[in-house]
């Protein structure tokens, strides 16, 4: 999904928020069909138990989604970030799988593209919102 930010700006945002070596925004993905939620669940490497990474990644993905010129739900982010300079970046597969399995996000299609939308549990965990 189109994102009105250049790659270097997006990468600087996450670098400022997460000091770990493995950034949750990747250049390539092992997901065979990025717009198929089942592909995000197939043959994943297990996500490390790095809660700091997860708590940095989700708000970052939501911030990037906020720069999407197409209408998206407020608490959702795309499976593919098509950045303004023509480069693509992806959310981390292992992290997304963990979010899906834990019921913190659900996958659905908007504008013929897969997005991950926070569930009520996900909003409570990452945004401090309760029902």
- According to the model, what pLDDT value does residue 21 have? 83
In a domain, 116, yes or no: yes
pTM for the whole structure? 0.90
Instruction: Give me the domain span that covers residue 49.
Output: 2-21+36-127
In a domain, 28, yes or no: no
- According to the model, what pLDDT value does residue 31 have? 85
Q: How far is CA 47 from the centre of its chain?
A: 14
Contact 82, 71 (CB under 8 A): no
pLDDT tens, residue order, the chain (131 aa)? 999 999 999 999 999 988 888 889 999 888 889 999 999 998 756 655 567 888 899 999 999 999 999 889 989 999 999 999 999 999 999 899 999 999 999 999 998 999 999 999 999 999 887 65
In a domain, 27, yes or no: no
- According to the model, what pLDDT value does residue 131 have? 54
- According to the model, what pLDDT value does residue 53 have? 84
In a domain, 64, yes or no: yes
Q: Is 91 left (phi over 0), alpha (psi -120 to 50) or beta?
A: beta
In a domain, 13, yes or no: yes
- According to the model, what pLDDT value does residue 44 have? 56
- According to the model, what pLDDT value does residue 48 have? 58
The number of distinct structural domains making up the chain is 1
Number of residues assigned to the chain: 131
In a domain, 94, yes or no: yes
């Amino acid at each position: 999904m189109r994102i009105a930010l250049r790659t270097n700006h997006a990468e600087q945002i996450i670098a400022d928020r997460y000091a770990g070596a493995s950034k949750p925004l990747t250049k390539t993905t092992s997901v065979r069909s990025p717009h198929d939620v089942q592909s995000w669940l197939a043959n994943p490497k297990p996500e490390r138990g790095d809660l700091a990474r997860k708590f940095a990644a989700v708000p970052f993905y939501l911030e990037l989604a906020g720069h999407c010129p197409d209408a998206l739900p407020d608490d959702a982010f795309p499976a593919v970030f098509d950045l303004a300079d023509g480069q693509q970046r992806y959310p981390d597969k292992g992290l997304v799988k963990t979010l899906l399995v834990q019921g913190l996000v659900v996958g659905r299609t908007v504008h013929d593209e897969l997005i991950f939308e926070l569930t009520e549990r996900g909003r409570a965990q990452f945004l401090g919102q309760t029902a």
